[in-house]
Amino acid sequence: MPAKRGRPAGNAADGDNKEKIIRAVVALIKKDGAGTLTVRQVCKTADVSIGTFYHYFQNKDDLLMYFVREESFAKIELWTPLTDFAGRITELYMYLVRKYQKLGRAFMCKFYTTDNMALSAYLCSENNAFLQGTVMARCQQEAELARQQAILRLDIDTFQLSQDICTIVKGCVFEYNLTNEKMDLEGTLRRILERYIAGYMK
């Protein structure tokens, strides 16, 4: 998160206005989607000044990145053993997915769109490496460990494997939304990952 700029308006405790902004964004995304969101619209809905907004966020994309980079996935503790690689990666991604599930299907449907440029930036890669702290970077790290411990084949491309896994997760989330949340998302994700990863196991 970038350093704070300026001073928050009013006498609200530090963080109160930030929560108002986040709640306003969730409501606006559910209503109109992430692509049409504007800073002015967020401030009006949250009843905060433009200056207060820029105290917490650099711009709209920085605000949207809050929902995917609220915390670093490098620090997430996973309980599934590495030997159960498909289960461990399912646990990793479900940590992120459950956060979106709490925000509701309307949010999930309208956040994961091609109009959300912040999400596109989050999912990008450079020189066969993902952005540090992202769920994809952690997935690749887990794959590297599994390869080193001879759980996965030594000849695999862990970057490509992690990209494919990310694509599988996005497909499952999309199907989950299409079925109006009736699909067993975690069970389906694990089943598909087990079948896909089986070809890469030692």
What integer is the mean pLDDT of 23-36?
88
Q: Residue 1: what pLDDT?
A: 43
Which has more confidence, 21 or 108?
A: 21
The pLDDT value recorded for residue 14 is 58
Average pLDDT, integer, range 134-155: 95
State whether residue 131 is helix, strand or coil. Answer: coil
Q: Give the pLDDT confidence score for residue 3 in this predicted structure.
A: 45
pLDDT tens for 51-100 read: 999 999 988 888 888 887 777 899 899 999 999 999 999 999 999 888 88
Domain ranges of the chain: 16-68, 71-200
pLDDT for residue 186 is more than 90: yes
- CA distance to 23, 50, 118, 152, per residue, from 61 (Å): 16, 15, 5, 37
What's the Cα-to-Cα distance from 184 to each of 114, 130, 165, 198, rounded to whole Å?
25, 28, 18, 21
CA distance 182 to 92: 21
What is the pLDDT, as a whole number, of residue 164?
94
Q: How confident is the model at residue 132, as a pLDDT? A: 86
In the CATH scheme, what is the homologous superfamily, with its name and number, of domain 16-68?
Answer: Homeodomain-like (1.10.10.60)
- Global confidence as pTM: 0.79
pLDDT of 177 strictly over 90? no
* Averaged pLDDT for residues 18-39: 90
Handedness of CA 134, 111, 101, 49 (dihedral sign): positive
Highest mean predicted confidence (pLDDT) among 31-45, 121-135, 185-199: 185-199
Selection from 1, 11, 127 nearest residue 22 by Cα: 1
